[in-house]
C-alpha cells in the first residue's frame, strides 16, 4: 500500500504531501482545485505517459514521490533489486519527474530506472479506475479480463499454457503455409544455385589466387627483359669471361681492399674502411650467386606457362563477374550458397516436420481451449450471482447481472467471447453493459465487480477517480459503504464529489485552492472533526458554515459510522 504521496509543481498543486495509509482515503475539493492531479500523480508513479502540459506554469519540472509499504512481495523485491534499488524495512520509494520540455525520469528504490519498470511494478501494486476505465468496461476485452481475474489461479495457469501452445501453433502454421506457397520458386532457386555452385566448385578458386596469377603474368610477359637484365647485372658484378679485360665489380672492390690493407697499419682510421670493403665483396659475391641462380631458373618454356596463366585468370574473371566484384566475394558465395542449398533441399523434410508439429500443436490448443471454456463458464455463473447480490446492495435491487461465454474463433486469449449483460429489472431483456447501462449504472456495476473479484484476486491498492459519477442519494451511500467494505481487504483511495461517499472514509483529504492574484495554487490538508464537518457541508450544500448543512453533515457521518460498523 502507499503510505505517503508527495507532489510538487504538478498542475495547480504547488506542493503537497498526502498522508494516506491503510483503509479508505477520500479526496475531495472544489471544482478546479486539482483533485484529479492526485490521480495524475499516482499515474506517473505507476508508469503512465508523461505530459509536459501537466507541469505547473512557471516551473521547470514537476516531481512526484510515493512511499510504499511492500513487505513480503518477492516479485517486487526481485524487480527492484535487478534495477539496483533498495527496499528498506519493507518501504519502497518511487519517484518520477517531468520537465517542462517533456523529458521524464524515474527513480526506484533510490536509483534511476527505466520508466517501464514503474509500469511493471504497477501490475503488482495498484488497480486504477477512472471514468475512462468505466468506459473500457463496455469492451469485450475488459469484460473477459474481469472474468479471468475472478476465475483465479487455475484459469491463469491454463491460459498461460494455452497462449504458449497457440503461439507455437500459429508460428508453425504460418511457416508451413509459406513453404508450401513458395515451394516451386524455392525449387527453381535450388536448381539455379546448384548449377552456379557446380561451376564454382569446378573452378575451385583459392584465396589470393588472383593476386598470385597477376604477379606470374607480369613476370612471364616480361620474361626476356628479365633474363637479359639479370645476365647483364651478373656480368657487371662477377664476369665469367671479362670483355676487353675490363674488371667486374667484385674484382674492383677486392683490389681496393688490398691497396688499403697494405697501408692500413700506418693509420688506424683506414681499418673500418678495409672492413667495409671486405663486407661489400661478400655481398657482391652473394648477389652474383643469386643472379646466376635466377637466370638459370627462368623457364625456357615461358610462352606456354603464360598461356595457362591467362586462361586461369579468364576463368576467375568470369566467376567474379557472375558472383561478385572480387574473388573473396566468389569464395563467400560458395560458402553461403552451400548453406542456402542445404536449406532449400531440406524443404520437403521440413514441410513434413511442420505438418506433424502443426497437428500436434492444434490438438494441444484444442485441449487447452476446451478447458479454458469450462473454467470460464463455471466462473461466469459464480461471478454473475455474486455481482447481482452486490448490485442489490448498491440500490439496484431488481437488477441482474449475467455473464455469457460463447464460442468464438481461436485467438491468443482462447476460443471464447465473454459478454457481461445487465437486466435492469424483471421482464427486461438482458443487454450488454456496453449498450444498456447508464453512466451511474456502469459505475455501480464496475464497483460491484471489483468488490467481488477482490475476494479471489486481491490487489494491495485500489484507486477510484469519481466512481460515483452519475450517482446520488441512497445509491451514493451504498457506494460509500461498499468502498468501505473493499477497504477492509485492500487500501482504497477515492477522488469524489459526493459527501455520501466521503462520509465512509477513514482518512479524509481535501485539495484546497488558493490564489496569489496571478497563478492558482493548491495544497492538500487532512481533515478531522469540525473541519471535516465543514467540508462535508460544502459537498452537500455548497456552504461550509450553514447550520442546516452542518447538521446534515454530522447526521451523514453518524449514518456512515453505523453502517460501516
Give me the mean pLDDT over the 559-564 stretch.
73
Asked if 467 and 446 count as a contact pair (C-beta separation under 8 A), the reply is yes
Residue 500 pLDDT > 60, yes or no? yes
Give me the mean pLDDT over the 13-42 stretch.
85
How far from 479 is each of 40, 324, 422, 470, 502, CA to CA, in Å? 23, 76, 18, 12, 10
pLDDT-wise least confident of 299-308, 353-362, 538-547: 299-308
Domain range annotation of the chain? 2-130+466-564, 158-437
pLDDT at 168: 92
Give the pLDDT band of residue 338 (cuts 50, 70, 90).
confident
Give me the mean pLDDT over the 171-191 stretch.
75
Asked if 369 and 236 count as a contact pair (C-beta separation under 8 A), the reply is no
Cα–Cα distance, 421 to 30 (Å, whole number):
36
pLDDT at 183: 65
For strands 461-465 and 126-129, give the pairing.
parallel
Asked if 453 and 146 count as a contact pair (C-beta separation under 8 A), the reply is yes
- Location of C-alpha cell 450488454: 432
Q: Which residues contact 241 (CB under 8 A, 6 or more apart)?
A: none
Cα–Cα distance, 450 to 129 (Å, whole number):
10
pLDDT tens-digit map of 261-282: 888 888 888 889 888 988 988 9
- What are the DSSP calls for 93-141, one per residue? EEEEEEETTS-EEEEETTEEE-HHHHHHHHHHHEEEE-HHHHHHTTSHH
Higher per-residue pLDDT: 560 or 147: 147
| % of the chain residues with pLDDT over 90 | 22
Residue 519 pLDDT > 60, yes or no? no
| % of the chain residues with pLDDT over 70 | 89
pLDDT at 25: 93
Q: Which residues contact 72 (CB under 8 A, 6 or more apart)?
A: 90
CATH for the stretch 2-130+466-564: 3.40.50.300
**Per the confidence metrics, is the pTM higher than 0.85?**
no
Give the pLDDT band of residue 303 (cuts 50, 70, 90).
low
pLDDT at 135: 58
Higher per-residue pLDDT: 353 or 162: 162
Residue 346 pLDDT > 70, yes or no? no
pLDDT tens-digit map of 401-435: 999 999 999 999 999 999 999 888 888 888 888 67
Instruction: Please choose, from the candidates 118, 130, 93, the residue with its C-alpha nearest in 3D space to the C-alpha of residue 464.
Output: 130
Write out the three cell numbers for 84.
539496483
Residue 300 pLDDT > 70, yes or no? no
pLDDT tens-digit map of 379-402: 999 999 999 998 887 878 888 999
Give the pLDDT band of residue 332 (cuts 50, 70, 90).
confident
pLDDT tens-digit map of 459-491: 788 888 877 766 777 778 888 888 888 888 889
pLDDT tens-digit map of 311-329: 888 888 888 888 878 888 8
Asked if 538 and 502 count as a contact pair (C-beta separation under 8 A), the reply is no
Asked if 504 and 564 count as a contact pair (C-beta separation under 8 A), the reply is yes
For strands 507-515 and 24-29, give the pairing.
parallel
Give the pLDDT band of residue 366 (cuts 50, 70, 90).
very high
pLDDT at 449: 86
- Location of C-alpha cell 495498484: 126
How far from 437 is each of 22, 383, 401, 423, 496, CA to CA, in Å? 32, 18, 11, 9, 21
Amino acid at each position: 500500500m502507499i503510505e505517503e504521496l508527495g507532489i510538487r509543481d504538478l498542475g495547480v498543486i504547488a506542493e503537497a504531501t498526502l498522508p494516506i495509509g491503510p483503509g479508505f482515503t477520500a479526496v475531495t475539493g472544489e471544482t478546479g482545485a486539482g483533485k484529479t492531479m492526485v490521480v495524475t500523480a499516482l499515474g506517473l508513479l505507476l508508469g503512465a505517459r508523461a505530459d509536459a502540459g501537466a507541469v505547473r506554469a512557471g516551473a521547470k519540472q514537476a516531481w512526484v514521490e510515493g512511499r510504499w509499504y511492500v513487505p513480503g512481495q518477492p516479485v517486487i523485491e526481485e524487480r527492484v533489486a535487478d534495477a539496483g534499488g533498495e527496499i528498506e524495512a519493507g518501504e519502497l520509494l518511487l519517484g518520477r519527474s517531468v520537465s517542462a520540455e517533456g523529458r521524464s525520469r524515474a527513480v526506484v528504490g533510490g536509483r534511476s530506472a527505466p520508466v517501464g519498470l514503474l509500469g511493471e511494478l504497477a501490475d503488482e501494486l495498484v488497480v486504477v479506475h477512472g471514468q475512462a476505465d468505466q468506459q473500457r468496461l463496455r469492451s469485450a476485452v475488459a469484460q473477459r479480463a474481469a472474468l479471468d481475474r475472478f476465475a483465479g489461479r487455475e484459469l491463469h495457469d491454463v491460459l498461460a499454457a494455452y497462449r504458449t501452445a497457440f503461439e507455437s501453433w500459429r508460428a508453425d502454421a504460418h511457416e508451413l503455409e509459406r513453404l508450401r506457397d513458395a515451394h516451386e520458386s524455392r525449387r527453381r532457386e535450388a536448381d539455379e544455385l546448384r548449377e552456379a555452385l557446380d561451376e564454382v566448385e569446378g573452378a575451385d578458386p583459392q584465396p589470393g589466387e588472383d593476386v598470385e596469377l597477376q604477379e606470374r603474368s607480369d613476370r612471364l610477359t616480361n620474361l626476356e627483359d628479365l633474363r637479359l637484365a639479370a645476365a647483364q647485372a651478373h656480368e657487371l658484378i662477377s664476369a665469367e669471361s671479362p670483355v676487353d679485360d675490363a674488371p667486374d665489380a667484385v674484382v674492383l672492390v677486392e683490389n681496393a681492399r688490398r691497396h688499403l690493407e697494405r697501408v692500413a697499419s700506418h693509420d688506424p682510421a683506414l681499418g673500418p674502411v678495409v672492413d667495409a670493403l671486405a663486407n661489400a665483396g661478400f655481398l657482391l659475391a652473394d648477389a652474383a650467386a643469386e643472379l646466376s641462380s635466377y637466370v638459370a631458373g627462368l623457364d625456357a618454356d615461358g610462352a606456354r606457362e603464360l598461356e595457362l596463366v591467362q586462361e586461369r585468370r579468364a576463368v576467375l574473371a568470369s566467376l567474379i563477374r557472375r558472383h561478385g566484384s572480387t574473388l573473396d566475394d566468389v569464395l563467400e558465395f560458395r560458402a553461403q550458397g552451400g548453406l542456402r542449398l542445404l536449406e532449400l533441399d531440406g524443404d520437403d523434410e521440413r514441410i513434413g516436420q511442420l505438418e506433424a508439429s502443426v497437428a500436434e500443436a492444434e490438438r494441444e490448443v484444442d485441449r487447452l481451449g476446451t478447458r479454458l471454456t469450462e473454467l470460464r463458464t463455471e466462473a461466469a455463473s459464480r461471478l454473475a450471482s455474486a455481482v447481482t447480490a452486490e448490485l442489490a446492495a448498491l440500490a439496484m435491487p431488481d437488477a441482474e447481472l449475467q455473464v455469457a461465454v460463447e464460442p468464438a474463433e481461436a485467438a491468443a486469449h482462447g476460443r471464447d467471447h465473454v459478454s457481461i449483460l445487465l437486466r435492469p429489472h424483471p421482464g427486461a431483456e438482458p443487454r450488454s453493459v456496453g449498450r444498456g447501462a447508464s453512466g451511474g449504472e456502469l459505475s455501480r456495476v464496475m464497483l460491484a465487480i471489483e468488490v467481488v473479484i477482490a475476494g479471489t484476486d486481491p490487489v494491495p491498492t485500489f484507486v477510484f477517480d469519481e466512481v460515483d459519477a452519475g450517482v446520488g442519494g441512497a445509491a451514493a451511500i451504498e457506494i460509500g459503504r461498499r468502498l468501505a467494505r473493499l477497504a477492509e481487504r485492500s487500501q482504497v483511495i477515492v477522488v469524489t464529489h459526493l459527501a455520501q461517499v466521503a462520509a465512509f472514509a477513514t482518512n479524509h483529504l481535501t485539495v484546497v485552492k488558493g490564489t496569489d492574484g496571478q497563478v492558482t495554487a493548491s495544497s492538500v490538508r487532512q481533515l478531522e472533526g469540525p473541519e471535516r464537518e465543514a467540508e462535508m457541508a460544502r459537498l452537500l450544500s455548497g456552504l461550509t458554515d450553514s447550520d442546516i448543512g452542518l447538521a446534515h453533515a454530522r447526521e451523514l457521518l453518524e449514518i456512515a459510522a453505523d453502517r460501516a460498523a
